[in-house]
Every structure is written in C-alpha cells, then in structure tokens.
Structure 1
Amino acid sequence: MFESSSTMVIRSSLITCISDYPSRGSHMHSLTLLTPAHFCYLVGVVAIVATMIFRANVVVPAILATFAVAFAYSGKVLVGLQAIFLGSLTAAHELFNIFLVIALMTALLNGLREIGADVRMVRPFRKIMVNGHVAFFILALITYLISLFFWPTPAVPLVGAILIPAAIYAGLSPLGAAVAIAIAGQGMALSSDYVIKVAPGISAKAAGTDMLPVANTALLLSLIAGAVALALSWYLTVRRNVRKPGAINLVEWESSGEIDPTAQPEAHQGSFAKAELARSTAGMHDEDVDALPAVSSAGAASMALPAMGGGVILPPKREMWSKVFSIVTPLTFLAVVIVMTQPELVGATVIRGGDAAALIGGMAAVLMMLTTLSYGRKGFLDRTAGHIIDGLVFAFKAMGAVLPIAGFFFVGDASTAGPILGIESGVHVPSLLFELVQACSQFIPHSPVLVSLGVLLTGMITGIDGSGFAGLPLTGSLSGALAPLAHMPASTLAAIGQMGAVWTGGGTLVAWSSLIAVTGFARVPVLDAVRVLFVPVVSGLVIATLVAVAIS
C-alpha cells in the first residue's frame, strides 16, 4: 500500500467506526437515498474508466466531473469552480508524502551517481540477476518479503533505490520492474496483510467473524492471485521486452528522465546530465563503456581522468568514496529495515506506514548530503540544493497530472470530501462512493459463485478511490449478510472482498493510487503500468475467487 496517504488516517479510524455501519443484514433491506451528486459522481467514474480504456488522458474528464459533482451537491457554480482547485489541493496534501519520498530518493541517487557509487552498488546483484527474466521474479520475491513486514510504503523506495537499477542492468525493462513491484508489494503482500493484520482485522470485525480465518484465507488467495498475475504479466508483456544485460540499459533508463530531451547534454547538470551518466559507469568493462552515449571532451575532462583502453575512471579519492558509499548505502537501508521490524532495539515504538516512509526519506537526505560532500567541498551547498530540486522536478513531472484525477475520487470519500465541497466542520459529509455501492448491493444474486464475484466487484469498486483499506468495512458487512444466503463462510467472503478492495486501491489497478510511487521510481508512465497490469491482476483475482468458492 503506499496506500494513498489518506489511508493512513482512514486506517486508524476505520476500526472504531465499523460499528457505525449497518449491522449485518440490516442494510440489505434499505435503499440509500441517491441524490443528483451521486449520479454525477457515478457518471464521472464511468467517464474516467471509459477514457482510460480508450487510452486517452483522464485529467480533463476528472476536472469536469469534479465541477459537476460539487455543483450538483451545492447548487452553486462558485462552489463547483472552487472544487476544481480544492480537489487538486486536497490531493496534493494527501499525496505529498509520496512526492517527497520520491524526490529525496532521487536526490540520493543523483548524489551516488556523482561519485559512481550507483553502478558499483548494483554490481553484486548482477551475479543473481543473470538476465531480465530472473530479475523479474527476484524483484517480486524481495519486494514481497519486505512489504509483508511493514507494508509497501517504505518498500517501494528501498527496492527502487537498490534493486531496480540492478534489474534494468540485467535486461529487465523499466515497465517490467514496475509491474513486478506492484504485483508483489501493493498486491500480494498488502492484500493479505498477514503479518500486521490490520486489513483482516477490519474485515473480520465488519463481517462478525474471527480474524484468523480471514487472515489465513486472504493469505492463500493473495498467493494465488499473485502467482497468476506474475505469470501472465511475464508471458504477455515482460518476456517480450527483455534485453541483453549491459550498462547501456542503465544509461538509457536514467536518461529517460531528462527535463528537455532536445537540449544539449551539457545544458543540464544534476541527475539527468549525460556527462554524469558516463562518469557513473567508471570501472565497467570496455564493451560497456563503448556502448555509452558520447560526452563532450570538456565535460568528461572536468570530472574524470581518461583510463587506459578508452574508458573513464574517477580520481583516486573519489574512487575511494565511490566504493565506500556503494557499501554504506545498502547497509544503511538494511539497518532501517531492521529498526522498522524490531523498533525496540533503538527504544522506539512501532514504525510503520507514514513513520517508516519519513524515516527512509530522512535517511536518504542524510546519505545524499554525505555523498555530495564526498564529491568535493567546493560547491557542496549548491550541488545539494540542486539534487533536491532535480528530485522534486522529477517527482512532479512524473506524478503532477495525477492530482486533479485523485481530487475527483477524493470527492467520493467522506474523509476528504468536506474541504473540496466546502462543507463546514461538524456538518454531515456524504460518502458518495460508499453510498452508491451500498444502494446496489441488494441486487447481487445469492448463488455462491455470483455472490463471491459480486463481493469481489464491490471491493474493486470501493478501491477505485485509491485508498485500498477504506472499503473493507463495507465488503466485510456485505460478506456477513450474504454468507448465510450463499452457504459460504463469512470469513471467505470477507477475504474475497478484501482482495478486490486492496488489489485495486492499494496500487495495481488505478493510476491515482500508490502505483504512482512505483512507476515514479521505475520512470515509466503510470497509465502504461495500469494497462499492463489490468488483465493479469483481474485474471488472478477471478481465479483466486473461484478457488475460494471451490474450497469453502
């Protein structure tokens, strides 16, 4: 879950608010009163989904839908116009932690690249990631193990900083790396939440059943769905784009983040300069160096000494620091992992979610300053500021268009709709998305297969807002009400609903979820990742649901 950041707040309140939902069965016999705002929101969701299907940009539909919902709710044009701005502002407030972590981790990578430590750091993984196919599954495995213990929030930057470059060097495409991380972290690990057990706890309480059966079933279903999704995504997309291992893969990937691709390489300094990319490959084999883009002689001479055989090497002192930080950086993040899993070692309380992301971001900033200082004291302050600016530019360049889209979906969530619609504190805030789903829930047929698929679909719809966990009280209570009619355990239905909500909103099927963090580190368009993930993830969820029906 890099879980939309609003989930961090939602998660803490959902457990105490479940009792506010109708008791099992009671809401099945009452219709939610739908207003014009509900129908405008529904039309907006359909319009955005349809626009995505046709592979067009959804920013304009999201802005228009935000205006329509606010106008329909308030009856005032001014409120509708203000909602366009307030929606993006609320989204920026909710998602800025993601922006900032990406910026700081990118700044760290820039600092490592200055001294050539980024390439040194990934070399050990080349022994394991022998090619792009192996790299895909190793990346997924490591992401899954890390995410199980403290959610994908800090796992994404950890994997992004250390393993994505190694996987790309091995020949895996950036899109393939993003797919592996999203399926394993935001999908498999988060949907079961087997170690921390917040998700199964919410689902079980809402369904009126014990937590352990929900957790066990969710773990099994998440593994099935993940295995299917990984296999299908590899077969349909990843295997076709695997390249021969080599440094040129890293160079092309890193250069894909340039601010202005038409400008001369020397015009840019910081993270995207071709001269820095060339310097960072110092010490590679001659055939790797020969594959690099040409660098101006002035630029190369200013930063590196010519090596025998036509390559590029660093000055001795910088070479030493390159080796030091290639070891210190992964060890530091390993220490962070240990602290987050065993916080009592440092006398701290539980460190997860937002606190974990803050710890990683702060550590990245410190490491970035140290690496920049090791490059040279002259200009240290300016270079440090430049790295941070480059990181922020990249973060907003990669994810800025997501803000108005997220703003629309935040209108449908009671926890964020108030400021957007101009509702004063203490006044009832509508939950448009939940109320729409609740109004339609009574029309689900009562056969085991149809009920299970209906609960799955309900969970997926509630996950459209990008939060993942916010829909669990509804899918849990719906499961408890339908279980006797479908002759299925409530725990099984609750786990199915949990799969749909978390896989969708946790960050695999919607572009305004934590998937933007994954694609930000992989440097690929978020909508491309959504399109590649859609068929494998949905297929995995459907197969897992059918297995759940068969064994229940």
Structure 2
Amino acid sequence: MSGFHLMYLGIIALVILAMCFRKNVTLICIIGTFIMGFVYHDLSVLQGIQTIFWAFLTASSKLLDLILLIAMMTAMISAIRSLGIDELIVRPFQYMMISPGTSYLVLIISMYLASIFFWPTPATALIGAILVPAAIKTGLSLMGAAVAINISGHGIALSSDPIIQGAPGFSERAIGLAPGSIVSEAVLYSTIAGILASLVAFIMYRQDFITGKFKSNTKLNTEHSTQNLTWKRVLISAFVLIALLSVLYIMITQNIKGQEATALLGGFALIVTIAITIMTGSSTFWDQIADYLNQGFIFAMKIFGKVIPITGFFFIGSDQSQQIIDENAPILLYDIAEYFSEIIPLTSITLYFGNMFLGIISGLDGSGFSGIALTANFAQSMERIVDVDLESLAAIGQMGAIWTGGGTLISWAFGLVTTAGVVGVDPVELARKNFIPVMIGLIFSTLFACIIN
C-alpha cells in the first residue's frame, strides 16, 4: 500500500472511532474528502475544494431517486393523515387485539405493513396513535408495544424495505449492482433476525410486557377517535386502499423491481396525493398539494442531508473515485482489502460477521444509512479476493447498519427515539430491552447466511 492508501485508511479509522464516541462524523468526512483530493492533486487547495463538491454531487446523484421517492411517499401520508383516513385504514387491526400476546403480534404485523409502504417514521406515528391505545386495553404494557413497533418498523421493515427499496437501493448504488440485486437477501436475513428478536423479547420480558412494569408517566389517550365516519372519508379510504393493492399487484405480476419500482411508487404517491386533496373539495387544494410536497422534501432531506457527505467520502474508496478525484485514481478499498487478505486468513465466517459488526459500528452515529456505503464497498472489495456471495455479504452489512442506527440498539437512534416518544417510554430503557433479543437475531441470521452461502 502507498501513503495515499494509508491516509485513507487512517481517516476511516478516525470516522469509526468518532462513531464509537457518539460523535457526528459529517465534518470528519468532509475534511477527509478535502485531504484526499488535496494530496492526490499534488497539494492543490483548489482541487481539494473541488473534490468536496464532486463527492457531494456523485453521492447525491446516486441517491436522488430515493430522495424523491421518500419525499413523494411522505407527501402522500401527510395528505392521508390530514383527512383522518389513516385511522380508517388500520382500524380493522384493532378488532384482532384480544389479549397481550395477540396485541403484540398485531402491532408487529401492522407496523411492518405500514412501514414498507409509508416508511417506518410516519408509520410509527400512525400505529402509535391508533393501535397502541387498543393494545394497552388488552393488558400489553407500553414497553411491550414499543418493542414490537421498534423491532418491526425500524428493524425488519427498514432493513429489508422490499417496496420502497431505500436501504437495498442504497447498497446497490454504492457498488454499482443492478437495481433489485440484494432485495431478496435483505428480506430473508432481516425477517429471520426480526422474527427471532421479537420472539426472544416476548419470552424474556413476558412478565414486564403484561404487567406494565415500565409504564411511562405520560398518559396515553386510550379512547378511539370520535371523528365522524362521513361517506367522503370512507370513499377516499377505499380509493387509497384499492390504489395501494393495485400497485402492489402490478409490481408482483409484472416483476417490477429496482428503479422501475421506484418510479412507479413515486408517481403513484404523487397522483394519490393530488387525487385525495382534490376529492376533499377544498378551494385551497392548489396550495395544499404544494405544502404536502414541501413537507415530503423536508423530511427526505433530514434523512439524507448528513448521509450525502459521508457517502461521498466512502465513494472515494470505490469505483466512484474516478468520477470524484481523477479518471486514473486507484480503487483504494479494493487495494486495502487485497493487502490485508495476504496477512489475515479470510473465511466466510470472518467476512460475514466482520461486515455485520462493521455495520453495527457504522450505525452508532444514529443514522444507519451513512454506514451502508462502507459495508457495501467492503463486501465488493472482499468479493474480488475471496469466493463469497457479494449480494449476501452486502445485505448482512446493511442489516447491521440499519438495525443499529435506524435503529433498535442505541438510544440516540432517530427511529428508536421516535418510537419511544410516540409510545411514551424511556428510550434508554427501550434500547436495553432490545439489545439481547436483537443481537441474538442478528447473530443467528448472519450464521444462517454463512451456512447457506
């Protein structure tokens, strides 16, 4: 390895160290991007500054379709919630809650279904406001409800993301895989981890989940909404449900995946937003549609705003370096991986568990998405040296990053904080309850990947 390689490796080590101390690594990555461009171009400050822009542009261009999709889906859910239609859509699930155990299961299933269509954060507010009060009435504690929602939404759904394909799409773009390449692997491994984690959590904390030992001081409104069931609301609710099921049917029957699925879902979300806003009959629908889109873009940029600088830095170590630094720039991570493969014996077990724990470390920043570029590029670098399945290895690393930072394992993760706030529990306590069950699920799922590959 050259000094250029060692410099890049040193900056990565600094990024990981900062993550371990719960520091935001955006600034480190920006400075690191400048240093790499500055050194490569013979200490040119001008080209070092330009490297920052090219890194941002390359990363954002790879993520733009996902940003647009999430913005459009968020606009749709904002329109739906403003009319109270979300309440009607999930109301049938309430009638299945007859005991703490069934309530726990219903929360997991309903949260997963809502999350894969609307993304976990909006879904958390929806499920938490409507179904959690009904679950509490059956004897399920607030902590039991929070664990179910968190593991299902910001664990299984966010990591696998089979409909919107945010996380899998991010991994695929980071290493140039065809759209939809790792979706099936991501769904398989995250589902295994989630089922096991949910089961272990209920068995371990069954007494706490039923007795309500960890009830928050926050009083949850357990009364069902008394909003009138007007024909207009029922009609719009039916329209939304039929539209959702129709899109899902088309995607399955015509095998629409990847960017084609992204385009279909994004266009569908925007059309539904416009349709239900017009159907309300309000004279201000012109302004309302624009407001919903603004809300969507604000939410999307909150997620990806700090991800773009971090992704841009890690792109410097991948094939994308030729677009960022120079057309003759080396593929740093590949060279580094090749060097260490000659020193450290590499097996499928060390690679799979190594990438999973690398994902966990990268997720300590509380984002989850910021570490996917690292785990995906690690998988690609190893695949070029060792006979290992690239898609499976990338999916395992993605799972570690999302389950941690997305998240279920750390109390400062946005997903966990959102869940704790909506349900009304202590985020630190929720993270503690999740830790052992989630780690068991992740380890078992990673071991399963080693065995079948």
Deviation at 1:432, TM superposition (A): 2.0
Quick one: percent identity of the two aligned structures?
25
User: Is 1:46 paired with 2:13?
Assistant: yes
5+ long unaligned stretches in structure 2: 133-141, 172-182, 363-370, 408-412, 421-426
CA distance in 2, matches of 1:62, 1:100: 24
CA distance in 1, matches of 2:219, 2:86: 12
Q: 1:327 aligned to 238, 244, 256, which one?
A: 238
**In the alignment, is the contact (CA less than 8 A) between 1:121 and 1:326 conserved in 2?**
yes
Whether the 8 Å CA contact 1:459–1:471 is kept in 2: the answer is no
Residues 510 and 217 from structure 1, CA distance in 2 versus in 1: closer, same or farther, beyond 3 angstroms?
closer
Query: Deviation per CA, 1:129-166, whole angstroms, max 9, x where unpaired?
Result: 676633453257658xxxxxxxxxx9353777778623
Which of 448, 453, 457 is the aligned partner of 2:350? 453
Aligned residues, how many?
391
Aligned residue in 1 for 2:155: 183
Residues 1:166 and 2:127 aligned together: yes
Aligned match of 2:118: 157
Residue number among 355, 359, 362 corresponding to 2:264 in the alignment: 359
- SS of residue in 2 equivalent to 1:170: helix
Paired with 2:88 and 2:416, the residues of 1 have a C-alpha distance of 19
CA-to-aligned-CA distance 1:506-536 (integer Å, 9 cap, x gap): x445669xxxxx96899679xx99x888876
2:79 counterpart SS class: helix
Distance 2:338 2:405 in 1: 21
Q: Distance in 1 between matches of 2:148 and 2:38?
A: 42
Deviation at 1:354, TM superposition (A): 1.6
1:538–1:334: structure 2 CA closer, same or farther, 3 Å change rule? Answer: same
Task: Report the alpha carbon displacement of residue 360 of structure 1 after superposing the two structures with TM.
Answer: 1.1
**Partner residue, 1:24:** none
Q: Residue 24 of structure 2 aligns to a residue in which SS?
A: coil
Deviation sequence 1:67-120 (CA, Å, 0-9, x none): 222223223222222222332232222222222222212211222233221222
Q: Is the 8 A contact 1:230 1:536 kept in 2?
A: yes
Quickly say closer, same or farther: Cα 1:138–1:460, change in 2 above 3 A: same
The answer for the alignment partner of 1:337 in structure 2 is: 248
Is 1:57 paired with 2:29? no
Equivalent residue, structure 1, for 2:285: 380
The letter of the residue matching 1:108 is: M
What residue in structure 2 maps to residue 279 of structure 1?
Answer: none
What's the TM-score once normalised by structure 2's chain length? 0.69
Q: CA deviation at 1:372?
A: 1.0
Whole-angstrom distance in 2 between the partners of 1:392 and 1:140: 23
Alpha-carbon distance between aligned partners in 2 of 1:436 and 1:129, rounded to the nearest angstrom: 54
Per the alignment, residue 396 of structure 2 pairs with 500
Q: Which residue of 2 aligns with 1:299?
A: none
Q: Does 1:110 align with 2:78?
A: yes
Confirm or deny: 8 A CA contact 1:372 1:384 kept in the other structure.
yes
- Contact in 1 for aligned 2:124/2:419 (Cα 8 Å): no
Say whether residues 1:435 and 2:335 are aligned partners.
yes
Listed one character per residue, the Cα deviations across residues 189-211 of structure 1 (whole Å, up to 9, x for unaligned) are 88xx9xx9xx9xxxxxxxxxxxx
Corresponding position of 2:297: 392
User: How far did 1:221 drift?
Assistant: 6.5
Equivalent residue runs for 1:478-517 within 5 Å: 478-480=385-387, 497=393, 500-504=396-400, 507-509=402-404
Q: Give the Cα–Cα distance (whole angstroms) in 2 for the partners of residues 389 and 521 of structure 1.
A: 25
Q: Alpha carbons of 1:124 and 1:139: their partners in 2 closer, same or farther (altered >3 Å)?
A: closer
Q: Deviations over 1:292-351 (max 9, x none)?
A: xxxxxxxxxxxxxxxxxxx6658xxxx3221112122122111111100101xxxxxx41
What one-letter code is carried by the residue in structure 2 that aligns with 1:44? I
CA 1:170–1:500 in structure 2 vs 1: closer, same or farther (change >3 Å)? same
Q: Which has the larger radius of gyration?
A: 1
Aligned to 1:100: 68
For normalisation by structure 1, the TM-score amounts to: 0.58
Matched, 1:417 2:378: no
- Structure with greater contact order relative to length (CA < 8 Å, sep ≥ 6): 1
Partners in 2 of 1:231 and 1:156 — Cα distance? 24
The 5-angstrom pairing of residues 251-266 of structure 1 reads none
**Alignment RMSD, CA only?**
4.7
Deviations 1:427-465, CA, capped at 9 Å, x for gaps = 33432223222221233347xxx7622453157659944
User: What amino acid is the match of 2:299?
Assistant: F
Give the Cα separation in 2 of the matches to 1:520 and 1:376. 35
> Could you say if the C-alpha distance between residues 70 and 156 of structure 1 is closer, same or farther in structure 2, counting changes exceeding 3 Å?
farther
1:137 aligns with 2:34: no
Match of 2:39 in 1: 72
Partner of 2:3: 36
CA distance in 1, matches of 2:191, 2:384: 24
